[in-house]
Amino acid sequence: MLSLDLPSGLDATTGDAHDPVVRAAATLTLALPKVGLRHVGARPLVGELYVGDIGVPPEVFTAPTVGVDVGAIFATAEILRIW
């Protein structure tokens, strides 16, 4: 099963699994990986993790309200494998 953005039932911020929760073979998250996807307990639910470019300009991420410097994260490909 493939999950888009994050497996259904998985909290994007904490990585907590709710009932029911999807156990994906792979997850394609959009723009940047959500914090909850990287939680150790979420890994078996996330499966292989990929991040896909949806055209968010880099300056959006570096804005003071977000504060993340992603550089040219999608310079080599539109979809990147995280693990």
Give the pairing type, strands 2-4 and 79-81. unpaired
Cβ burial, residue 34 (10 Å; 0-12/13-18/19+): buried
From first to last of the 83 residues of the chain, give the pLDDT tens digit: 999 999 999 999 999 999 999 999 999 999 988 999 999 999 999 999 999 999 988 788 787 877 787 878 888 999 999 99
pTM recorded for the entire structure:
0.87
Angle among Cα 12, 24, 6 to the nearest 5 degrees reads 20
pLDDT of residue 58: 78
Name the residue ranges covered by the structural domains of the chain. 2-81
Exposed, middle or buried, 83 (CB in 10 Å: 0-12/13-18/19+)? exposed
Q: What is the rounded end-to-end Cα distance, in angstroms, of the chain?
A: 16
CATH number of 2-81: 3.40.50.10260
